[in-house]
Amino acid sequence: MNRLLILLGCLLFCLPAFAQIPGGNGLAIGSMPITGGPPVVGDCLTVGTGNKLGQVVCSSGSVTTFSAGTTGFTPSSPTAGAVVLAGNLNLTSVATQATNTIVGNATSGTASPTALAIGSCSSASSALIWTTNTGFGCNTSITANAVAIGGITGLGTGVATFLATPSATNLNSALTGGTLAYLGSAQIFTAVQTINLNAASLPAGPVGTALQVGQANAGVNYFVQDAFGSLNALYSRRANGTNASKTALLTNDIILDIIANGYGATAYSAASAVVVFQATENWSDTAQGSQVLMQVTPNGTATRATVASFTGSTFSLPGSIQLNVAAMTQTAAAQSGTVCYNSGTGAVTYDGSLGCLTSLEETKEIHGPILGALDTVAALRTFWFSPINRPKGSDLNEQPGFGAHQVESVDRRLVGYGENGELRGVRYMEMTAVLTAAIQELKIEVDILKARR
């Protein structure tokens, strides 16, 4: 094919004087005489001396006789196209062709070249294509959406769309399954990143959000870590100052918040439940005190309160928090030791010997002896009862006791009250002192009666 094109170029540009002899049976080169004679295969027509064109046209052997003259030559047995070139290209093949064509062979085998038409294919969405054994054609569907997943290694459908219009949505569509699995090397993101598996856009995150992950409706949104042969870790660290110039933490600096909140009637609430990891002193390389606070929001309010704290070796229940021990093992059998609460410090301790050592005079401000104890005891109403509304496993057998309201009506000092003044129950332990005083008063009366005999 390359030789054919070179030869065509030579005919078109090197022999501009060639013309068809009237009748279509020969060639003329201007009015110059041509050396002629009976040619054989391989002989060539030559231009007369002085023209310096050399041998330009060769005979294939089908022309047997030339008649030389002043204006040209003709074969003795005229046949249109009898003079041919190497490669079986006859003269009619290099004649003027239709517009928008190219000479070539689009067949499945060896054949003489023909004019191959090339249609218009110049729009932004078009590209010239070649189909084997057919020829030239035009693909008019070259668009951004036509880039298939297999078209670009490692990227998914819609890549060209993302390249044309970069956005988080188009990136999510371009990556198969909406994941970053095809990013084969470490990536550095300099803007907020969102992974959204929901059909709708996610609500804006709080100020400072760097990564937001949304799940489809009714889908559980798991954050999964897999480790094999070692542990998983949620690692958080804080420094004051800047990344370039870090400084130590100070007392009460929050290192990490684990926050949970939900949607109210019209909007998301502030943090409703929080686990706070906090510094408890100014940090150095050798002093790094910390604590963990647990904060929740009581029913009927929207204000969060600390319900427990872990500081060093101390577990604290601040405020009017109650410790629910309903699920603890219960028994009516005698036990050794006592769990004690110090109302002054709030400490809960264990005493294995003398009942929390509350009998020490050093721990009391004594106001005087108990008087009228016998009348007080005589006014109390005792009864037998069976407990109700007790946790499963409680002792529900018949028991002796007092009624707190009745005891309160006799002497308010014999009952206990809550932080807000609500009646809580009888002070059974302290009642022994009143009973002792009553017995002592009774003994005095007995001694007097004995003395009168």
112: pLDDT strictly greater than 70: yes
What tens digit of pLDDT does each residue of 161-175 get? 777 677 777 776 666
Mean pLDDT calculated for residue range 224-228? 95
Residue 387: name the closest of 400, 377, 396 by CA. 396
pLDDT of residue 124: 79
More confident residue, 450 or 96: 450
Q: Which residues contact 171 (CB under 8 A, 6 or more apart)?
A: 162
pLDDT of residue 334: 55
pLDDT of residue 3: 47
What tens digit of pLDDT does each residue of 254-279 get? 999 999 999 999 999 888 999 999 99
Residue 308: name the closest of 318, 323, 322, 298 by CA. 318
Mean pLDDT calculated for residue range 411-432? 87
Least confident of 15-29, 178-192, 306-320: 15-29
Least confident of 73-87, 136-150, 264-278, 390-404: 73-87
More confident residue, 339 or 30: 339
pLDDT of residue 38: 46
Length of the chain: 453
300: pLDDT strictly greater than 60: yes
pLDDT of residue 328: 64
% of the chain at pLDDT higher than 70? 62
pLDDT of residue 440: 95
Tokens at 342, concatenated: 């110090």
Q: Which residues contact 159 (CB under 8 A, 6 or more apart)?
A: 147, 151, 152, 174
Residues 253, 39: Cα–Cα separation, whole Å:
109
Residue 295: name the closest of 313, 308, 286, 284 by CA. 308
Mean pLDDT calculated for residue range 63-67? 41
pLDDT of residue 313: 80
pLDDT of residue 69: 42
pLDDT band at 108 (very low <50, low <70, confident <90, very high): confident
What tens digit of pLDDT does each residue of 354-392 get? 555 567 787 788 999 999 999 999 999 999 998 887 766
pLDDT band at 198 (very low <50, low <70, confident <90, very high): very high
pLDDT of residue 403: 94
pLDDT of residue 284: 97
220: pLDDT strictly greater than 90: yes
pLDDT band at 37 (very low <50, low <70, confident <90, very high): very low
Residues 83, 62: Cα–Cα separation, whole Å:
7
Least confident of 68-72, 286-290, 434-438: 68-72
More confident residue, 53 or 4: 4
Yes or no: say if 433 and 439 are a contact pair by the CB < 8 Å rule: no
Yes or no: say if 82 and 4 are a contact pair by the CB < 8 Å rule: no
Mean pLDDT of the chain: 75
Residue 437: name the closest of 355, 359, 358, 376 by CA. 376
Q: pTM for this structure?
A: 0.44
Strand partners, 338: 351
Least confident of 135-149, 362-376, 419-433: 135-149
φ, ψ dihedrals at 415, nearest 5°: -125, 165
Residue 372: name the closest of 364, 380, 361, 383 by CA. 380
More confident residue, 299 or 5: 299
Residues 348, 429: Cα–Cα separation, whole Å:
18
Residues 402, 377: Cα–Cα separation, whole Å:
11
pLDDT of residue 265: 92
